[in-house]
Amino acid sequence: MRIIGIDPGTIVTGIGIIECFEGKLKMIDCDVILNNSKIPLSDRLKKIYDICTLKINKYSPQEFAIETAFYGKNIQSTLKIGQARGVAIISAANARLNISEYSPREIKQSVSGSGASNKEIVRNFVKKILNIKTDPKFFDSTDALAVALCHYFSLTNNIYLSKYKTSKNFNWKDFIENNPERIVK
């Protein structure tokens, strides 16, 4: 299964694609869409849409995961990020991908174990999980990989947890044995 993760932004949008095969995780692509803040927003949004579509067509993912909008003090930034999210989601919808959304806290929690992790900590965990040797140039690209990993972990946890009727039957030892990719050494 291939998953494309998106860390949306109107200036820098991160794109990360991972492959999950027989319990092994592998990075397929790690990239960013760079936009100039001086060009019209409509042109930046079109570029995000076009490159997301290009990546989807090139790598044929089955799943699409995107970070939800972050609500900061600047409402204009929040609205613009929402527009970037929208064009990326339309790109995935046009390709008939399964679309999932995760909050920044959920993404950080799933990858690093703490929802309050900073970008450097997330990058380091992503590198370990995917066995990446060098630091990607932009945090946005590793953030996008983290979005894809969060979705993968959500899918695999839900499949595993659905085997149990009550939490009393949950067994961490079995979970760890069945999910070795979740162990960071």
Please state the domain count of the chain.
1
- Across residues 160-164, what is the average pLDDT? 46
DSSP-based helix, strand, coil % in the chain, nearest 5 = 50, 20, 30
Q: Is 67 among the catalytic positions?
A: yes
Domain CATH number, residue 129: 3.30.420.10
Which pLDDT belongs to residue 178?
73
| Cα 111 from Cα 166, distance rounded (Å) | 25
The one catalytic residue in 22, 140, 143, 177 is 140
Which pLDDT belongs to residue 166?
45
pLDDT > 70: percent of the chain: 87
Q: Is 140 among the catalytic positions?
A: yes
Which pLDDT belongs to residue 23?
81
pTM (two decimals): 0.85
Average pLDDT, the chain: 90
pLDDT tens-digit series, residues 52-78 = 999 999 999 999 999 998 777 788 888
Q: Which residue has the higher pLDDT, 169 or 117?
A: 117
Question: Which is nearest to 6 in space by CA: 46, 56, 40, 42?
Answer: 56
Range with the poorest average pLDDT among 34-43, 103-112, 169-178: 169-178
Please give the residue range of the domain that contains residue 23.
2-182
The one catalytic residue in 19, 29, 31, 67 is 67
The one catalytic residue in 7, 29, 31, 143 is 7
